[in-house]
Amino acid sequence: MTQNVKKKVKELLESGKIKGFLGLCQKNGHIGPHLFCDPDDLESMVLGDEERPGDSRYPLNKLLIHIARSYPDETFGVLVRGCDERGLKTLYTWNQLNPDKVIPVGVACPQELADACECLRPYPEEFVEGERAEERSSASVTKISGLDVKDRFTSWMKEFARCIKCYGCRDICPMCFCNECSLEAEELIHTGELPPEIPIFHLVRAVHMAGRCIDCGLCNEVCPADIPLRTLYKKVADIIDEEFNYRPGYSEGKSPLNILGSAAEE
Amino acid sequence: MDYRTVPTTCTYCGCGCNFFLEVLDGRIIGTIPSKSGPANQGKLCIKGWHVHQFVQSPERLTRPLLRKNGNLSEVSWDEALDYTASRLKEITSAHGSDSAGFFASAKLTNEENYLIQKFARAAVGTNNVDHCARL
Amino acid sequence: MGDCHYLYGNVATEKRVRFLKKLLAFSGIEEERLRCKWVSSAEASEFVEEMQDFTETLRALGPSPLKQAGAQRAA
């Protein structure tokens, strides 16, 4: 299942087009992120499917930012699924990565994963592995939208009340690259209480995901309290699409909420 | 350039969460919870998420400190252990075994925790053993 | 629009309010609780009218669910 990716990466490394390839490998019994630099040492490469498809996905884009900050002049390859590619596109618009210095190597997600993710586009534009699965719409969003307004409030509060304020949703998020975070601003978010002030804590994060969230779902997977954050952010993306005809990672250009540059001056 | 993701176990408590430490050119720059860690399954608490910050903190204690004339000063392990052993003997012989107490830690391994209670009970002869996770 | 002391401040606000009303509705907070209206400092009567109307709207909606949640927290 990884033959084509390995072949492609080997070519890229041997030709010197990339300094390293950020992908996933199986080591010490774990699947984890790994920077492959030697074209003859790709044996341990995997695509992140352990027991179920895509159950070991990692925020490779985010890690690539860490490396690129120290080595801005080097070009790196990176493993991308549909969501990761949307992430790359969005990070380019926010100037967090330089598109001239990134070579994505794509894999298409199997139908099982596309279904579980309710993914609108479970494949990157170009891929060397896998087959194009069918797109899925957001049944989870439709379900909550169908509730009465009071029931919607009760249901979200029940979910948010389990929050242990680990900040995992933010820390795993490939779109969370700010140096200062509103979720740590004492004047906005009270400290020293669990759960954090709800629903404000979660809605503040939801607002910040507007025009940014590319629906990778890592926040949902990392949450120790199983709060359905992905559903919340899917709705956020739907609203931005309805109101401004923009969907991060799918549409071209900057977010309509970006206050710098042409977007705000239109 | 040297970028590695090193699989390891959280030292903050006894749960045993697995994560990868992102190491760039010898410096730890990030923590990534391991999806296949049986204890944490890709999740972490707020302390685990920030492990990379304490490892290289300049405020971290790396050598024993001994209070001399009211001021803490760095000493060798030999000096610290000799001092502790002699004072333990003095105090317990003057006031009895129960005048000493031992605090273990969630940051120790099971085996180290076992040893400290064994030392307290068998060597010193007191049941005054406690643990930071109970505070 | 665009005729704002803070340059494009009202353009940004208008966009945010459009987004926020829908986010509030999805989170179970009535979107009528948020209202955005442009009133200049020379339009006192318009301001009064708007505030009276908004007050009536809020009164009809009853106490905010957030207030009830806050009271439960304090208890």
State the pLDDT confidence band at A263, using cuts at 50, 70 and 90. Answer: very low
Return the higher-pLDDT residue of C66 and A101. A101
CB of B99 within 8 A of CB of B92? yes
Residue of A163, A212, A259, A266 to mutate, testing the C interface (most C Cβ within 10 Å of its Cβ): A259
Which of B1, B5, B36 comes nearest A50 by C-beta? B36
State the pLDDT confidence band at A259, using cuts at 50, 70 and 90. Answer: low
pLDDT digits (tens, 9 = 90+) for B23-34: 999 999 999 999
* Four-CA torsion B11, B16, B19, B22, nearest 10 degrees: 20
Chain A residue closest in CA terms to C15: A257
**Percent of chain B residues topping a pLDDT of 70:** 98
Average pLDDT for A57-74: 96
CATH number for domain B3-55, candidates 3.30.200.210, 1.10.40.50, 3.40.50.620, 3.40.50.2300 = 3.30.200.210
Q: Is the pLDDT of residue A266 over 50?
A: no
Lowest-pLDDT choice from A211-220, B55-64, B119-128: B55-64
Residue by residue, DSSP assigns chain A as --HHHHHHHHHHHHTTS-SEEEEEEEETTEEEEEEE--TT--TTEE-S-SSSTTTT---HHHHHHHHHHH-TTS-EEEEE-HHHHHHHHHHHHTTSS-GGGEEEEEBPPPHHHHHHHT-S--S-SS-SBS-PPPP---HHHHHHHTS-HHHHHHHHHHHHTT-----HHHHH-TT---SS-GGG-TTTS-SS-SS-STTHHHHHHHHHHTTT-----HHHHH-TT---HHHHHHHHHHHHHHHHS--TTTSSS--TT--SSHHHH-
Nearest to B63 by CA among B81, B53, B76: B76
pLDDT digits (tens, 9 = 90+) for C4-50: 777 788 888 899 999 999 999 999 999 999 999 999 889 999 999 99
Domain definitions of chain A by residue range: 3-117, 139-260
State the pLDDT confidence band at B132, using cuts at 50, 70 and 90. Answer: confident
pLDDT digits (tens, 9 = 90+) for A86-102: 999 999 999 999 999 99
Domain definitions of chain B by residue range: 3-55, 61-94, 96-135
Chain A closest-CA separation from residue B102 CA (Å): 30
Q: Is the pLDDT of residue A189 over 90?
A: no
Which ipTM value was assigned to this complex? 0.89
Chain A residue closest in CA terms to C74: A197
Rounded distance between C-alpha atoms, residue A31 and residue A47, angstroms: 9
How is residue B100 written in tokens? 């000493």
The pLDDT of residue C68: 77
Average pLDDT for B108-134: 89
The pLDDT of residue A19: 96
Rounded distance between C-alpha atoms, residue B66 and residue B73, angstroms: 5
Q: Please indicate whether chains C and A are in contact, defined as at least 3 beta carbon pairs under 8 Å.
A: yes
Which of C8, C23, C28 comes nearest A239 by C-beta? C23
Does C26 contact A144 at a Cβ distance shorter than 8 Å?
A: yes
Lowest-pLDDT choice from A204-208, B56-60, B78-82: B56-60
State the pLDDT confidence band at A264, using cuts at 50, 70 and 90. Answer: very low
Residue identified by tokens 């390859």 is A77
3-state SS, residue C38: coil
**Percent of chain A residues topping a pLDDT of 70:** 97
Average pLDDT for A48-55: 87
**Percent of chain A residues topping a pLDDT of 90:** 82
The pLDDT of residue A94: 92
Chain A residue closest in CA terms to B42: A222
Q: Contacts of residue A243 in chain C, CB cutoff 8 Å?
A: 15, 18-19, 22
Which of B20, B42, B49 comes nearest A166 by C-beta? B49
Q: Contacts of residue A50 in chain B, CB cutoff 8 Å?
A: 35-36
